[in-house]
Amino acid sequence: MERTLILAKPDAVQRGLVGNIINRFERKGLKLIGIKMLSVDDEMLDEHYSHLTDKPFYDDIKNFMKSSPVVAMAWEGYECTASVRVIVGATNPREADAGTIRGDFAIGQGRNLIHASDSAENGEKEVSRFFSDEELLSYDKSEYIHVYEHKERSGDGRDS
């Protein structure tokens, strides 16, 4: 099973949308394996957004992300990063499809509610950045038999 990171950004926290966001992923059938509310500092933001630190708008992102707590969530599921990206919607909420989190709840590009890992590799790195191994829970999710085919649950690729 793949792991991915979701951050409910300060605008999601301030607007009381964290529950709605969690609900979207739960309805999809993904498994929440870690969750916490935290304030992010410069060091964490510089690492997390290292690909943006040289951009002229980075200081605005940094100040916004420090303006209020965020809710960090680690989710798990079969090829879940791609599923999460579909649920989240386009980075610019004005271009996001109706039915996505950004399409339904956001309109300003700089206030797009949520960060979602953009690849399986980054998902693993980002989960490790925000959660220690002790903060991630492993458990059987009884509904998986109704969510995934056997080959997806077992990871062996066979149709048994």
Active-site residue set: 115
**6 neighbors 115 (Cβ within 8 angstroms):** yes
Beta strands in the chain (DSSP E): 2-8, 31-38, 70-77, 114-116
CB atoms within 10 A of CB 78: 17
> What is residue 72's DSSP assignment?
E
C-alpha closest to that of 23 among 118, 101, 93, 81: 101
What gap in Å lies between CA 160 and CA 156, rounded to an integer?
A: 10
Torsion of CA 103, 104, 105, 107, to 10 degrees: 40
